A and B are shown apart, each in its own frame.
Chain A
Amino acid sequence: MSKYSLHEIIYGHHDLRVHVPISSCTLATGAQEVYRAIEDYIKRTGVSAEIHRVGCMGLCFLDPWIMIAGKNLPPAIYANVKPLDVEKILDRYLSEDLSGAYALRFRIDDKDYGIPLLDDKPEWKYQVRFVSRNCGIIDPESIDEYIRTGGYEGLRKALKMKPEEVIEVVRKSGLRGRGGAGFPTWLKWKITYEQKSDEKYVICNGDEGDPGAFMNRLLAESDPHRVVEGLIIAAYAVGATKGYIFVRAEKPLMADRLEKAVVEARKKGFLGEKILGTSFNFDIEVYRSAGAFVCGEETALIAAIEGRARPRQRPPYPAVSGLWGKPTLVNNVETLAHVATIFQVGVEEFTKYGTEKSKGTKMFCVTGAVKRTGVYEVPVGTTIKKLVYELAGGPIEGRKVKAVQVGGPSGGCIPFNLFDLELDYETLQAYGAIMGSGGLVVIDDSGCMVNVAKYFTDFTLAESCGKCLPCRVGMKIMNDILGRIVNGEGDVSDIEVLRDLGVSIIKTSLCGLGGSAPNPVLSTLRYFDNEYREHIENRKCPAKVCPKLVTYVIINEKCRGCGVCARQCPANAITGAAGKPHYIDSSKCVRCGACLISCPFGAIEKT
């Protein structure tokens, strides 16, 4: 089979090829309806065209986007497409009017149509699309397309080497675990390889549980074969015969796509007996977890496959004694996709990027209070500022960025004045956060840091498996204290208690969940001490978020008595005669803010 060029994939063999992303995030914004509208258009107009289902390219703020590629015209991306716009967009495009397009994928001649190139846009030009190279370009359900972009070449190369040589390639790449802790991947492989055992296992950790992180979902939904290929290479290197891909229940499409990829790979002989004519036998099972945050921890994940979700003491590490007591290698989705890519394109392509201690690229999800939410793949060591301001476009109009939460419930908040920090494992740890899976949630001045800390303890408290006391009881106490503070019932001594307790929980917990759960509290205490003091000493929430410390009032001078707010109010807390200023009954008010949003005269304020 010949290799594809980007040009070929984009134009296909018809006069017109329309690319529609079908993944969880685009489906949520109506991509399926857009798909149907395009089908209708093609049927109705009889134009020689085909629709190409693709994955998501990570620029989620464009969702749902489509890309149109027609004969003698450059491929154009359209953003936030609605089914009703489809006809107009396609009619115009076919008459060579590209106005309204968001960007051109590339140019085919000098004509620029007044539309910028995607490569010139900051959200694209600062990215290094190494592991996400196929995302949004190929059909994730077609193994042929993956193969024609160089897929499974990495496996072919690896199978020609001895396992030790495969591990040596990974060592040279300097690849570190992309799931959070940053453990050198080759070392994990080597330890597993060195174990003498009749049976070994490899597990792909796709239990992406950090709220705010969805790079694994995006990668596995958009380019699932890359993950499968990486897992096969890992299995060959460590000598495993059976592999699992562990996916959580909240991400059904990710599991479906991976399952399909495994079936297709088996049909093509990349899985099963005597893979590619060698003596290597290996197969994969996709395991659907029922959803528990602690399963991201490798010993809990292994226990979940065995039927009970609880972490255990390490050592022994899973590499020595894991699933069913056998040596088991656990690697994250993105790590394995990196492995496949490194073997496909060569170590040098990977080591070109990154820092001295951490090579390569990392996918970061930037969400929250920014203009361009999405997944961006950048070299490790890129500054927070560059990611948040240049790629993600900075804060929403009229707002100021206050902090960024990195690493989810195990991570911490980095304040705005430290945004020149580089995103790598060591730097973030030194400042009280962790790289984690790479989720960055940007918090602007409308967010309350104490409330965020409380939110994370709610989360970890609910997710604590309860096996060890520091996490089970300690997090409960922290949560209770924070609950008092956000309700305006805090005490000055609470701050010291939170600090001491946090440090003890980290030191004494059994697994990584408890060992990092106090981070969001400790880091906000470290950088936003003033907000805690406002809540405790003045009983005020400076950002006006904590419900108990906020009241909604109607400004009499501005209220025209239209009654819109009263109709919107879900609690019937607003009364007033038509044409007369209305009144909010604070005791009935549920602080939903519906009145504030709905008031046409800006007469409602939070105090």
Chain B
Amino acid sequence: MSRVEISKIEYAIETDVLRLVETIISKHGCNRSKLIPILQDIQNELKYLPRKVLEVVSSKLGVPISDIISVASFYHQFRLEPVGEYVFQVCFGTACYLRGASNVYEALKLATSKVSITVEKARCFGCCSLAPVVMVISTRTGEKYIHGRLNTNDARKIALKYSATIRK
């Protein structure tokens, strides 16, 4: 990528976002090995990893964008799409799966289709004895709540409870 192109990208994202990315990179050091912590911090701030931001990271670290996307798309923690006010992570570990995680997932999907809540499948949280389990993450505050021993009715109640707290 030539220098001209880089500056184009930098202009295309908001200055405060650019500054944020710069701060994070300088905190960890401009090093390929710090890519994952850098992406984690960016996601903590922006809630997901916008393509344009990844391009900035690519040019700053001198790592091809294909490499960056390969890392960002491989790890579960990273999101490439924007998310809602809450993220409902339905555990799809073995115990949760056997105890009806798919039903809970479907019920949550249906119950949250009209509100700003993202429902996604997740890897094991290690709370298998309480299967099935859902982790609710508030994207505004970063707070995490775990709900265990759920059935489809409980799932709908949880969906209602959190939907009610979303600012209209």
A residues in contact (CB < 8 Å) with B: 24-25, 27-29, 60-61, 63, 208-214, 217-218, 249-252, 254, 288-293, 304-309, 365, 367-369, 373-375, 405, 408, 439, 441, 443, 447, 452, 455-456, 459, 465, 568, 570-571, 590, 592-594, 597-598
Contacts and interface: CB of A to CB of B under 8 A. Distances in A.
B160 interface: no
A211 B124 contact: yes
Contacts of B37: 288
Interface of B: prevailing SS: helix
Given A211-B124, A592-B152, A309 B106 contact: no
B146 A570 contact: no
A531 to B, nearest CB: 15
Given A210-B124, A288-B37, A443 B78 contact: no
Contact of B149 (A24, A29, A208, A252): A29
A208 B126 contact: yes
A455 B106 contact: no
Nearest to B103: A592
Given A593-B100, A593-B103, A214 B153 contact: no
A28 B126 contact: no
A291 B120 CA distance: 15
B94 A441 contact: yes
Interface stretch (B1-9, B51-59, B69-77): B69-77
Interface of B: 31-37, 39-40, 67, 71, 74-78, 92-100, 103, 106-107, 110-111, 122-131, 133, 144, 146-149, 151-153, 156
Given A60-B130, A214-B124, A593-B152, 20 more contacts: A24-B125, A29-B130, A208-B126, A211-B97, A213-B126, A214-B129, A218-B126, A250-B125, A252-B144, A290-B75, A292-B76, A306-B33, A307-B34, A367-B95, A368-B94, A373-B129, A456-B94, A570-B110, A590-B110, A592-B107
Contacts of A439: 94, 128
A289 B75 CA distance: 9
B95 A368 contact: yes
A290 B129 contact: no
A63 B153 contact: no
Contacts, number: 166
Contact of A309 (B34, B74, B128): B74
Contacts of B31: 307
10 closest A-B pairs by beta carbon, nearest first, are: A211-B93, A214-B126, A60-B129, A373-B129, A290-B75, A28-B146, A211-B124, A570-B110, A367-B95, A367-B128
B107 A570 contact: yes
Given A211-B94, A373-B128, A597-B152, A290 B146 contact: no
A456 B156 CA distance: 27
Contacts of A249: 40, 75-77
Contacts of B67: 308
Contacts of B156: 570
B152 A367 contact: no
Contacts of A456: 94
A597 B144 CA distance: 29
A254 to B, nearest CB: 8
A211 B95 contact: yes
A570 B152 CA distance: 10
In this complex, which of B39, B40, B76, B124 has the most chain A Cβ atoms within 10 angstroms of its Cβ? B124
A290 B78 contact: yes
B123 A211 contact: yes
B129 A63 contact: yes
A600 B124 CA distance: 33
15 contacts: A212-B94, A212-B128, A213-B124, A289-B75, A290-B77, A291-B75, A306-B32, A307-B34, A368-B131, A373-B128, A373-B130, A373-B131, A570-B152, A590-B106, A593-B103
Nearest to A370: B129
B77 A212 contact: no
A392 to B, nearest CB: 10
A441 B98 contact: yes
B124 A250 contact: yes
B132 to A, nearest CB: 11
B103 A367 contact: no
A593 B107 CA distance: 10
Contacts of A455: 94, 97
A597 B156 CA distance: 13
Contacts of B130: 25, 28-29, 60, 63, 373
A27 B124 CA distance: 16
Contacts of A60: 129-130
B69 to A, nearest CB: 13
A482 B92 CA distance: 18
Contacts of A252: 144
A308 B35 CA distance: 9
A246 to B, nearest CB: 11
Contacts of B103: 592-594
Contact of A214 (B92, B98, B122, B127): B127
